[in-house]
Structure 1
């Protein structure tokens, strides 16, 4: 068995106690995923596992066998930045940049949740098929990713702009 990391097959570690975060950073030298609190409280280590956001510090690498992991390095295509990465730059959605990779991966996963109709704490109508991408909804869903520099408004602006076409298209349906 192997783990697909950004499209490449990777052998799982022999030690079943190795976290996905440590596999990514220490073994694969993918430094985009950050080690923040190492307790699942800050979100700096957020990556996508089969398209869903997970905290890599709390995920054992062996749990990912036969699955696909996407880090911030794997979001773009053919050397180009992902549209959300561009939007973070345009909206100053980062200051020190430490939380940025986790914020971006979390936002990509969060949009998938919205598209699947997964409600959040602030979702007004739980029976509604489509959940609006309101600022309040985006803020709530991103609350597990901490930014110590205070770039939250830029982060929300970047997410809202990147997925605005999706928002309008879904609202029309």
Structure 2
């Protein structure tokens, strides 16, 4: 067992787990942060996507020891009242069907828009290609990414 200091959604937190424990388990089981979903456990589906130091990462394959000292942001940490531009776009365009993949889709979109404020469809598809949506809402997701980019730029 080790003691790891994590910076999760703006708060300093401590977990006592083995070093190789996936960050996803520390978030969900130790800290009660349930937004990142368990999908595949091998980093292939994107349901757990969160930001680690501002970049999209897969907590299901990130050892907790590797996350120590880094800023971890999950969907819960985007905004207190759902007013982040990406969240607003998702709601405005009614993207979610079952909703299971949406936290990961949203966090991947936040990462994309942080370095590319006006992505084209090919860039959106490339950035979200590893986020699987079983319901097939990909066209609504792409539209929401474009809308989030507009909202982020202050466009109506």
Structure-2-length-normalised TM-score: 0.89
Residue 28 (structure 1) aligned with residue 14 (structure 2): no
Deviations 1:37-86 (A, max 9, x none): 11111000100001111001010111111111000000014x34322112
Once the 2 structures are TM-superposed, how far is the Cα of residue 164 of structure 1 from its aligned partner? 2.6
| Structure 1: gaps (5+ residues) | 116-131
CA deviations over 1:16-49 (Å, ceiling 9, x no partner): 1211100111111111110001111100010000
- What corresponds to 2:129 in structure 1? 143
1:104 counterpart residue number: 106
- Relative to structure 2, which stretch is displaced further, 106-115 or 47-56? 106-115
Distance 2:98 2:58 in 1: 21
Which residue does the alignment assign to 1:154? 140
CA distance in 2 between partners of 1:134 and 1:168 (Å): 18
Which structure features the higher share of strand residues? 2
Asked if the contact 2:108/2:128 (under 8 Å) is kept, the reply is yes
Give the equivalent residue in structure 1 for 2:49: 46
Q: With structure 1 as the length reference, what TM-score do the two structures score?
A: 0.81
SS in 2 for 1:163: helix
Give the greater-gyration-radius structure (CA).
1
Change beyond 3 A, Cα 1:165–1:95: closer
- CA-based RMSD of the aligned residues comes to 2.0
1:103-145 C-alpha deviation (Å, 9 max, x unpaired): 0011101122426xxxxxxxxxxxxxxxx51112111211010
SS in 2 for 1:11: strand
The answer to whether the 8 Å contact 2:109/2:145 transfers is yes
Length, aligned pairs only: 152
